[in-house]
Amino acid sequence: MGQAAEAIRTTKQTTLQRTLTTALNELGVEAALVGIYEREGGSLVAQGSRGFSPREIQTVLRTLSGQESSLLTATAAAGEEDSHRALRLRMITPAAKSLLAMPLRHKQRLYGILVIGRKESVSFSKKEKSLIESAGEEITGALERAALFDGTLLLAAPLVVQEPAPTVAPAGPAALAPSSYATPEVQERIAALLSDQTQTVPFDRAWVTSYDPIAGAVEVLGLAGDYKGELKKDLKPGQRLALDSSASGWAVRHRKPRVDNDLASTQGRFLDHKHLFKDRFRSSLVVPFFVRGQVGGTVTLASRTPTQYGLPDARALEPLIVKVVELLQEPLAPQAARAQPGVVGEPQAEPPPQISHEPLIRKQERQAALGEFSAFLATEIREPLASIRVQLEEVTGEGILDFDPQTRVENAMRDLIRIEAILNEILDFAKPLELNRRLCRVPDIIENMLTVVGTELDMNRTRVTKDYAANLPQVRCDEAKMQQVFLSIFKNSLEAMTPGGHLHIEVTQQKSGRTHDVQITIKNDGAPIPTEHVGKVFEPFFTTKRAGTGLGLATVKKIVEEHQGQISIASGPGQGTTVIIRLPPPVHRGGPYRRRGRGRRPPRNR
């Protein structure tokens, strides 16, 4: 973007703010605010206000950019007469307990929202609604006379135009999303694209991330520029950054570019800025890109030059962003499409041709459908719920409500937190497991989980017996995930048993080929599982509980199988329920595992 274009934009920005300020002053209300959509599909930006504090402006616009905007835009479907009607907002602020919003339209395109507020919590009269409707028409006319609807400042094109969704979705294994886009080929191509961009917008270091809505994180795909060797240790391809602890995550959550010229103030908040600050960088620019209307990831540029970047530089990155989106939309390589979770570096054996692949295909289809559904939940349900919860917390924390409304809002927050917990459980089940394996003793994990449920065991007078075999081998597992497995089984056992029941735990070795697996048997004498339900207990969303999600045992099975183990369940009248888990011992190169001592053991004389 040249200096002439930037000067034109600055002039139009001044004209816009002067026009809106004049219109708000003529309204004669206690509080008023105008939010403008600078980009199609973007968020509202405050361009004029009076009577609202900066925090209140941010809260109102964030709400209007989310759930309330759908209400305002939906009025256009009723025709020309209804598309300019003011609506009462279901929210309050310290400055206004009654808010009225008016959608601002130009040629049936929503370009902004006018909000007025009053301190009293009463309904608006017809005269007041007519006043704000007339004010909205006057604002639109003034902006049109000032030639501000040319796409320079209002409703500018998005950084990446929304792509049409494919008419036919791929079927079979190709429909499965990869667990990671950061393949060596992608890393090389990202680095090449970034290197070509340095002539347009200079940088000393740059990287590209992709957004995983199910995991709620961004993944680094590739890096370019002048960076030290330790950067690969701190920030490397394949690394995932949480949305709330990275500047890339901030750009994803707010759906707009971010410019930082003082990394010293943000390096304690953002992990990616911490690495830049350590290497004496002075400024950074993070630009989100969109795929089919959803956030696809971010491009980050960093420079050692102070105040190197401004928001106009985001527009100059559009050619690069288009190429990145095209790269991410390319079909997966055959080896990536065939990759399945398992032992890292271990080739997958080809199944014999005479074996039917139908069960595997059905499993992959279910996984693809679950992944697609989970992505919808993450973007369309979890993010609006989080926004609602933040606003409720702000309202209750300000202490402006009376006792009865405060109680009702707190009850709503508790229900909202419960919904979020269920939603997170579904999303956790859908996303791939990331195991942090190390050598562990199974009896130690079991004892730790028995301590966790110790109070419940005592209250129900449950008798626990244990039988641990001597010289049990260690297993290589993720201790936290295996704790989750045993905790879920123990809780299910307690729910099935009556007070005074018996829980028996046995850990033994069982021969499996040339090795000995560790077998864990957990048996309770509670009510048995109905015969018709035994084969369904590990299926996702199957439950007989009134408040259950049906993901407890499904998650247990997923964790065990990710450890290359097996789990089975048996139940019958008079026998209670028995859960059997088999975990393989660790595989060591150069011979079986031996316990290390202080020195070599001398040979034994026979």
The token duo for 408 is 């009702």
CA–CA separation, 497 vs 304, rounded Å?
A: 65
Convert the pLDDT of each residue in 508-559 to its tens digit: 998 877 778 899 999 999 888 888 777 788 877 777 766 666 777 888 888 8
The token duo for 488 is 């879920």
How many residues are present in the chain?
A: 606
The token duo for 261 is 């010229």
CA–CA separation, 457 vs 499, rounded Å?
A: 9
DSSP state of 51: S
Nearest to 297 by CA among 323, 278, 265: 323
Q: Please give the residue that has the higher pLDDT: either 423 or 247.
A: 247
Give residue 369's pLDDT.
Answer: 62
CA–CA separation, 405 vs 384, rounded Å?
A: 22
Nearest to 552 by CA among 498, 497, 491, 478: 491
Convert the pLDDT of each residue in 329-352 to its tens digit: 776 444 343 344 444 444 444 444
Most confident of 41-45, 159-163, 599-603: 41-45
Convert the pLDDT of each residue in 228-271 to its tens digit: 544 445 678 888 888 878 899 888 877 788 999 888 888 878 88
Give residue 274's pLDDT.
Answer: 85
Is the pLDDT score of 300 beyond 90?
A: yes
CA–CA separation, 216 vs 379, rounded Å?
A: 9
Convert the pLDDT of each residue in 491-512 to its tens digit: 888 888 888 999 999 999 988 7
What is the β-pairing status of strands 463-468 and 475-477? unpaired
Q: Residue 583 — very low, low, confident or very high, per pLDDT cuts 50/70/90? A: very high
Is the pLDDT score of 371 beyond 70?
A: no
CA–CA separation, 257 vs 581, rounded Å?
A: 49
DSSP string, 215-259: TTEEEEEEEEES--TTHHHHS-TT-EEEGGGSHHHHHHHHTS-EE
Q: Which range among 231-240, 365-374, 406-415 shows the weakest confidence by mean pLDDT? A: 365-374
Q: Which range among 54-58, 396-400, 429-433, 464-468 shows the weakest confidence by mean pLDDT? A: 429-433
**CB burial of residue 532 (10 Å; 0-12, 13-18, 19+):** exposed
**CB burial of residue 148 (10 Å; 0-12, 13-18, 19+):** buried
Q: Which range among 144-158, 284-298, 305-319, 336-350 shows the weakest confidence by mean pLDDT? A: 336-350
Side-chain half-sphere of 88: how many Cα atoms within 13 Å? Answer: 11
Residues 6+ apart with CB under 8 A from 18: none
Q: What is the mean pLDDT of the chain?
A: 76
Convert the pLDDT of each residue in 110-145 to its tens digit: 888 888 887 776 777 777 778 788 888 888 888 888
Give residue 267's pLDDT.
Answer: 80
CA–CA separation, 100 vs 170, rounded Å?
A: 46
Convert the pLDDT of each residue in 199-236 to its tens digit: 788 898 999 998 887 667 888 888 888 765 444 456 78
Side-chain half-sphere of 132: how many Cα atoms within 13 Å? Answer: 26
Give residue 370's pLDDT.
Answer: 63
CA–CA separation, 421 vs 600, rounded Å?
A: 53
CA–CA separation, 562 vs 583, rounded Å?
A: 10
CA–CA separation, 121 vs 103, rounded Å?
A: 22
Helices 403-430 and 383-397: angle between axes, nearest 10 degrees: 150
Q: Residue 301 — very low, low, confident or very high, per pLDDT cuts 50/70/90? A: very high
The percent of residues above 70 in pLDDT, for the chain, comes to 75
Nearest to 146 by CA among 48, 20, 242, 253: 20
CA–CA separation, 210 vs 226, rounded Å?
A: 22
Give residue 331's pLDDT.
Answer: 60
Nearest to 98 by CA among 136, 48, 60: 60
Give residue 174's pLDDT.
Answer: 35
Is the pLDDT score of 102 beyond 70?
A: yes
CA–CA separation, 343 vs 337, rounded Å?
A: 16
DSSP string, 103-166: EEEETTEEEEEEEEEESS--PPPHHHHHHHHHHHHHHHHHHHHTT--SSSSSSBPPSSPPPPPP
Nearest to 452 by CA among 485, 428, 429: 485
Nearest to 62 by CA among 85, 83, 33: 33
Q: Please give the residue that has the higher pLDDT: either 308 or 535.
A: 308
Q: Residue 87 — very low, low, confident or very high, per pLDDT cuts 50/70/90? A: confident
Do residues 124 and 100 make contact, with C-beta atoms less than 8 angstroms apart? yes
Q: What is the mean pLDDT of residues 471-490?
A: 90
Nearest to 73 by CA among 62, 63, 57, 84: 84
> Quick check: helix, strand or coil at residue 490?
helix
pTM for the full model? 0.40
CA–CA separation, 373 vs 351, rounded Å?
A: 30
Give residue 443's pLDDT.
Answer: 93
Residues 6+ apart with CB under 8 A from 308: 202, 203, 261, 282, 283, 285
Distance of CA 270 to the CA centre of its chain: 17
Q: Residue 422 — very low, low, confident or very high, per pLDDT cuts 50/70/90? A: confident
CA–CA separation, 477 vs 563, rounded Å?
A: 7
Q: Which range among 58-67, 124-133, 210-219, 403-412 shows the weakest confidence by mean pLDDT? A: 58-67
Nearest to 213 by CA among 240, 173, 245, 174: 240
Give residue 285's pLDDT.
Answer: 93
Is the pLDDT score of 81 beyond 70?
A: no
Is the pLDDT score of 197 beyond 50?
A: yes
CA–CA separation, 254 vs 262, rounded Å?
A: 20
Q: Residue 86 — very low, low, confident or very high, per pLDDT cuts 50/70/90? A: confident
Residues 6+ apart with CB under 8 A from 523: 503, 504, 505, 506, 576, 577, 578, 579
Nearest to 560 by CA among 523, 517, 513, 527: 517
CA–CA separation, 445 vs 21, rounded Å?
A: 65
Q: Is 362 left (phi over 0), alpha (psi -120 to 50) or beta?
A: alpha
Helices 358-376 and 403-430: angle between axes, nearest 10 degrees: 150
Residues 6+ apart with CB under 8 A from 432: 179, 341
Q: Please give the residue that has the higher pLDDT: either 601 or 412.
A: 412
Q: H helices of 242-317, where?
A: 247-254, 263-266, 271-278, 312-316
Give residue 199's pLDDT.
Answer: 77
